[in-house]
Structure 1
Amino acid sequence: MRLTTQTDYALRTLMFLASKEGSQTIDDIASAYGISKNHLMKVAQRLASEGFIISQRGRGGGLTLARDPAEINIGAVVRALEEVSQFVECSPGSTNNCIVTPVCGLSHMLADAVEAFLGHLDQFTLSDAMGKRNRFADIFEVALA
């Protein structure tokens, strides 16, 4: 399983925000990671709509975490950004044109694997992913210098 670029950037954005005090700009986050500002704007919009961050427009605006890092579950972030229920064509609720579906057990195996993957991520918060939070801040300071 591979996470989409959007989910990758979302997790990176959350870690950046968790490592900083106060509101941060898309420009700073994009510069720190060397990623597309335009793509990151879409990611930030999605994170805001899902309630993980607060986005404030205008002068003095920017992005902040909506909750404490210890309250942001990694599994919840991945579920919000990934289409995990449509992992393969024959997943329940999808348009299925596979002729072997009536006799195939693969979709159940894959569904169980995705649930195990997400269940594992459910054990962790953004705070857990940060490890040594001050080390993140140091790395970002060097990247933005």
Structure 2
Amino acid sequence: MNSKSSPSGPCPHRAKFTRRFLRALARINKDRPTSSSHHEIRKRSRKIKIAADASMAYAVGSGRAWSRVMLWKLRNRTRYRAWIWSRVIASTRKRIDKGSKQGGELSRTDQLRQLVPGGEAMDFCNLLDEAAHYIKCLTTQVQVMRNIADFYFT
């Protein structure tokens, strides 16, 4: 059995991610704006980032906590943005009320919890496992995007 078809190989989700991401890029290119203003470029890069994250989460499926959270965020983007905004406002008010008495320093575990989607609700062992898998998938995402860029721009 070769390593490409083996689930224990380098990345069993790479082909799924690549197909989905290329389809999403084709859709984004169809809607290419006529102007190249700074605003349009930022909007387009945001669409590409969302397409890459969605492709990665769909390729992994719901087997991982980080992908379930990411899929939920993608499906409920409008509600999620409103929820995040309300949390930002609430935390800002708390900081203003408390002043700068506390250092505000986060432990490394808490910093990792903020980086991994859904990490806030995980115990330490699951957090490490999910973080390792998430990093592996992000690495694959970067490799695929580099290959696409190399193909089109060299």
Q: Tell me the TM-score normalized by structure 2.
A: 0.29
Tell which structure's C-alpha radius of gyration is larger: 2
**Larger relative contact order (C-alpha < 8 A, sep ≥ 6)?**
1
Q: Tell me the TM-score normalized by structure 1.
A: 0.30
